[in-house]
Chains A and B, each alone.
Chain A
Amino acid sequence: AQKITQTQPGMFVQEKEAVTLDCTYDTSDPSYGLFWYKQPSSGEMIFLIYQGSYDQQNATEGRYSLNFQKARKSANLVISASQLGDSAMYFCAMREGDGNKLVFGAGTILRVKS
């Protein structure tokens, strides 16, 4: 089974609107961490936001928030007030237990329209 599933290969959003990028995960470890990264066309991996499995509140970082639904095993990224510069590939990733490696989803390409 896929550890991380991103079901949306591509998404469009109008500038200034909010968009939700889906991510579901699969693990039997009670301790895990969920990450979102942005990869613009230049190729670098930019860390956006982190959610720990024991965190009581949803993580937020500026215009980014993580809609963490533990029972559904989902960790959707919400980008508010989209900007043209948000156009990029977005990856969801998970780290299990005390492990150090990240398991990545296949990614979602987001295009922001003016």
Chain B
Amino acid sequence: NAGVMQNPRHLVRRRGQEARLRCSPMKGHSHVYWYRQLPEEGLKFMVYLQKENIIDESGMPKERFSAEFPKEGPSILRIQQVVRGDSAAYFCASSPWTGDTEAFFGQGTRLTVV
């Protein structure tokens, strides 16, 4: 059973470009969470999705950021018009149900904006 798969592992974008980060949850997991880790900091919750639904987006910046988890395919975190401050590690986690005793994390995507 493959773990949570994120790609790409590393992504470099110029200011103003778009960044697309992908997350395939573990098989059988229908809950996906995105977190952001700025340098030298802990992870901060961004958004929680179930298939085709955004359940909690309280941690998402109001502009330029969006997330989806379609019926088929991976979850996508999209950042439009990236700025230097978007440089961070973005982690995806998945779980099979709510209130799980373990959230399985992917290896993260390290976004660098130049």
Q: Does A72 count as interface, using CB distance less than 8 angstroms?
A: no
A residues with a Cβ closer than 8 A to B are 4, 33, 35, 37, 43-45, 47, 50, 52, 91, 93, 95, 98-107
Total residue contacts A-B, CB cutoff 8 A: 62
Contact between A102 and B45, CB atoms less than 8 A apart: yes
Complex partner residue of B42 from A44, A47, A91, A95, CB under 8 angstroms = A91
Contact between A100 and B56, CB atoms less than 8 A apart: yes
A69 to B55, alpha carbons, bound, how many Å? 32
For the residues of B in contact with A, the DSSP-based class is strand
Contact between A44 and B107, CB atoms less than 8 A apart: yes
Contact between B105 and A44, CB atoms less than 8 A apart: yes
Contact between B31 and A100, CB atoms less than 8 A apart: yes
Contact between A50 and B108, CB atoms less than 8 A apart: no
Residues of B57-109 whose CB lies within 8 A of A: 59, 89, 91, 93, 95, 98-99, 101-108
A104 to B93, alpha carbons, bound, how many Å? 14
How many B residues face the partner with a CB closer than 8 A?
A: 27
Complex partner residue of B33 from A43, A91, A101, CB under 8 angstroms = A101
A52 to B102, alpha carbons, bound, how many Å? 11
Contact between A100 and B98, CB atoms less than 8 A apart: yes
A71 to B106, alpha carbons, bound, how many Å? 34
Q: Does B110 count as interface, using CB distance less than 8 angstroms?
A: yes
A44 to B42, alpha carbons, bound, how many Å? 13
A113 to B88, alpha carbons, bound, how many Å? 30
A25 to B85, alpha carbons, bound, how many Å? 29
Contact between A100 and B89, CB atoms less than 8 A apart: no
Complex partner residue of B107 from A37, A43, A52, A107, CB under 8 angstroms = A43
